């Protein structure tokens, strides 16, 4: 009985820790400005006024920050384009490499593995200047492509690492059975291996997407206008405008978070199993 009770207290503490910061911001986003100054936890008179600025397509509002807020839908589309491309590149390049590492014994596989691990340990700030100059020299500044490429390179090593672990959990006999059943090596890959590993692929795909959605440094460096600016950069631009009330910033934050949050809820099981299992496996 005691054990039960303390377990629930423990669980409650965990829930509070994990949710409270975000819950407060979400609550604030529904508060009228004056309620924030009263240090409230819950909106007395909830309003969606803070959000209206972001959907002010006609450009009616003359509020502070309205000019930036109006760009939100566009920025979300930019983030979507970038995130999806990063996800696809990760899945294609990552699964090919991971398949080779997991399945085909070959000379130099350890070297490659260390190369991937090493790339992963290079911090973004360490390569930002050369990357910036590189993108500039190819005329890629302020394009989606520059952000996509940079995001792909820093997510890819992790993707390969995870997928290698995940692929190794699939019994080799499955592909052998497919070969005996008449598949070519490629056929066995496409008809048996890929369907069986779909959960893992989805998990790393979502992972790469969310990582790209949340990345800031390269997005900040490479994008200058709304033609390519993703939503994280816009959110920080917005917050740096003086005078913008925190309630409105909070609403913007909630909008930025919404998609990754929904994705992580939907694919929670896959992510926890797929990522956790193969990192330690």
Site for other proteins in 229-248 (CB under 8 A): 232-233, 235-236, 239, 246
Asked if residues 53 and 118 have their Cβ atoms less than 8 Å apart, the reply is no
Q: How far is the CB of 60 from other proteins (least distance, A)?
A: 26
Distance, in Å, from the CA atom of 245 to the CA atom of 79, rounded to the nearest integer, reads 25
Q: Is 198 in the site for other proteins (CB under 8 A)?
A: yes
Among 4, 57, 58, 225, binds other proteins (CB under 8 A): 4
Asked if 77 touches other proteins (CB under 8 A), the answer is no
Nearer to other proteins, 60 or 272 (CB): 272
Spatial separation of the C-alpha atoms in residues 263 and 260, rounded to whole Å: 5
CB-nearer residue toward other proteins: 8 or 55? 8
139-178 residues near other proteins, rule: CB under 8 A:
149-150, 152-154, 156-157, 160, 171, 173-174, 176-178
Residue number, 87 or 210, with CB nearest to other proteins:
210
Whether 224 and 142 have beta carbons less than 8 Å apart is answered as yes
Contact 204, 160 (CB under 8 A): no
Residues 148, 209: contact at Cβ < 8 Å? no
Nearer to other proteins, 60 or 115 (CB): 115
- With CB under 8 A as the contact rule, the residue among 67, 122, 190, 227 that binds other proteins is 122
H-only helix segments in 29-71: 33-37, 49-52, 66-69
Q: Which residue has the tokens 């972001």?
A: 54
Q: Name which of 202, 180, 201, 183 is nearest 192 in CA terms.
A: 183
Task: Report the residue number, 66 or 217, with the smaller CB distance to other proteins.
Answer: 217
Whether the Cβ atoms of residue 243 and residue 62 lie closer than 8 Å to each other: no
CA atoms of 110 and 18, how far apart (whole Å): 38
- Closer by beta carbon to other proteins, 57 or else 278: 278
Which one of 43-51, 52-60, 62-70, 117-125 is the stretch in contact with other proteins (CB under 8 A)? 117-125
Of residues 25 through 44, those in contact with other proteins by CB under 8 A are 25, 28, 36-39, 41
The window from 45-53, 64-72, 80-88, 207-215 that contacts other proteins (CB under 8 A) reads: 207-215
CA atoms within 13 A on the CB side of 146: 27
């Amino acid at each position: 009985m005691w054990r039960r009770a303390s377990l629930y207290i423990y669980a409650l503490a965990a829930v509070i820790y994990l949710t409270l910061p975000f819950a407060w911001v979400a609550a604030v986003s529904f508060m009228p400005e004056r309620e924030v100054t009263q240090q409230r936890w819950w909106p007395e008179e909830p309003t969606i006024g803070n959000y209206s600025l972001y959907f002010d397509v006609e450009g009616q509002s003359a509020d502070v920050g309205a000019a930036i807020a109006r760009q939100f839908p566009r920025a979300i589309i930019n983030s979507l384009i970038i995130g999806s491309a990063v996800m696809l590149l990760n899945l294609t390049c990552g699964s090919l490499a991971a398949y080779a590492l997991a399945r085909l014994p070959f000379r130099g596989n350890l070297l490659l593995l260390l190369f991937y691990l090493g790339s992963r340990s290079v911090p973004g700030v360490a390569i930002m200047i050369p990357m910036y100059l590189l993108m500039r020299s190819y005329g890629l500044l302020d394009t989606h492509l520059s952000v996509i490429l940079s995001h792909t390179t820093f997510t890819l090593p992790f993707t390969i690492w995870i997928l290698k672990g995940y692929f190794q959990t699939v019994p080799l006999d499955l592909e052998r059975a497919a070969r005996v059943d008449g598949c070519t090596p490629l056929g066995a890959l496409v008809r048996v291996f890929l369907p069986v590993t779909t959960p893992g692929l989805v998990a790393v795909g979502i992972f790469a997407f969310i990582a790209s959605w949340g990345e800031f440094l390269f997005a900040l460096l490479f994008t200058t206008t709304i033609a390519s600016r993703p939503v994280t950069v816009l959110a920080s631009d917005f917050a740096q405008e003086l005078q913008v009330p925190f309630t409105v910033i909070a609403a913007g934050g909630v909008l930025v978070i919404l998609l990754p949050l929904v994705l992580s809820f939907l694919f929670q099981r896959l992510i926890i199993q797929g990522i956790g299992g193969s990192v330690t496996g």
